[in-house]
Amino acid sequence: MEQIELHASKRDVLGKKVRFLRRQGITPVHVFGHGIESLALQCDTANLQRVLARSGQTRIINLKIDDEKSPRTVMAREVQQDILKGSLLHVDFYQVKMTEAIEVDVPIVLVGEAPALKNKENMLAQELNELSIECLPANIPNSIEVDVTSLTEPDDAIRVRDIVPGEGVTILNDPEAMLARITVQREIIEEVPEAVEVAEEEAEAVEAEEEEAKRSEATDATETS
């Protein structure tokens, strides 16, 4: 497996002052993990972006810190970005032990072509985008492929229990959870007018209450006068 490496250095700038680092093309990062002391570090932003693009949140990264002889094995746990600009703000890395199983969310990729889609009224709906798994860090898959060629009729579905994980991988999701299913477009179309009709009825009821309230106020005013 291709190794991914990232260089980092110790960081003394903390709190709100880190914005000055970002202006210099440096991103603040933290390393934490079970039984280790949290470390405040910093990385070159451009290099960090390249590494995250390759690793995602499922690949092991060899993190080389300036004054440490051996790299640390880490995974990106939380990536904070500027909502408007999309630029990196902060990254948390979780240090893993290669001999201890960890929990991680892995993306689902649908493969194959569902025979049911030959009928244009049918649609393939993906209900889950990720699976939560537990395994040793070295066994974490980049993604889990789900073959949809078994879906031949409307209402056919694939559930979590139908997925056979790789060796040493345990799926933590509810086995009965729906992963992908075939739906019929006309069912969706029929639901829309019904929802509109209900909304219209509710609006009419509110208007009727307001009219009744106005009539009551007018009657009260007349009686008072």
Question: If you average pLDDT over residues 156-174, what whole number do you get?
Answer: 93
Question: Which structure tokens are listed for 144?
Answer: 């889990």
Nearest CA to 41 out of 10, 3, 79 is that of 10
CA distances from 147 to 110, 168, 198 (A): 6, 21, 39
Question: Which structure tokens are listed for 10?
Answer: 């110790």
Pair 128, 110: CB distance under 8 Å: no
The ranges of the chain annotated as CATH 2.40.240.10 are 4-95
- Please tell me the distance from the alpha carbon of residue 126 to that of residue 144, in angstroms, as a whole number: 14
DSSP lists the bridge partners of residue 69 as: none
Biggest CA pair distance of the chain:
94
Predicted pLDDT at 67:
84
Please state, as a whole number, how many other Cβ atoms lie within 10 Å of the Cβ of residue 140: 21
Question: If you average pLDDT over residues 9-22, what whole number do you get?
Answer: 86
Classified as helix, coil or strand, 120 is coil
Which pLDDT band holds residue 5 (cuts at 50, 70, 90)? very high
CB neighbour list of residue 144: distance below 8 Å, 6 or more residues apart: 106, 107, 108, 109, 131, 133, 163, 165
pLDDT at 172 over 90: yes
pLDDT at 180 over 60: yes
The predicted-structure confidence for 41-98, as pLDDT tens digits, reads as follows 999 999 999 999 999 888 999 999 998 989 999 999 999 998 888 888 999 999 999 9
Predicted pLDDT at 201:
63
Predicted pLDDT at 181:
94
pLDDT at 121 over 80: yes
Q: Which amino acid is at 128?
A: L
Question: Which structure tokens are listed for 162?
Answer: 């139908």
The fold of 4-95 is: Ribosomal Protein L25; Chain P (2.40.240)
Predicted pLDDT at 9:
94
Whole-number mean pLDDT of the chain? 85
Q: Residues of the chain with pLDDT > 70: what percent? A: 81
CA distances from 192 to 145, 182, 183 (A): 33, 19, 15
Which class is domain 98-225? Answer: mainly beta
Give the count of alpha carbons within 13 A of 98, CB side only.
7
The ranges of the chain annotated as CATH 2.170.120.20 are 98-225
Among all chains, which residue has been given the structure tokens 């980049």? 142
pTM (2 d.p.) = 0.69
Predicted pLDDT at 154:
92
Beta-sheet strand order (sheet of 157-159):
122-126, 178-184, 157-159
Predicted pLDDT at 222:
53
pLDDT at 186 over 80: no
Beta strands 122-126 and 178-184: pairing type?
antiparallel
Predicted pLDDT at 19:
84
- Please tell me the distance from the alpha carbon of residue 67 to that of residue 9, in angstroms, as a whole number: 8
Predicted pLDDT at 35:
85
pLDDT at 33 over 70: yes
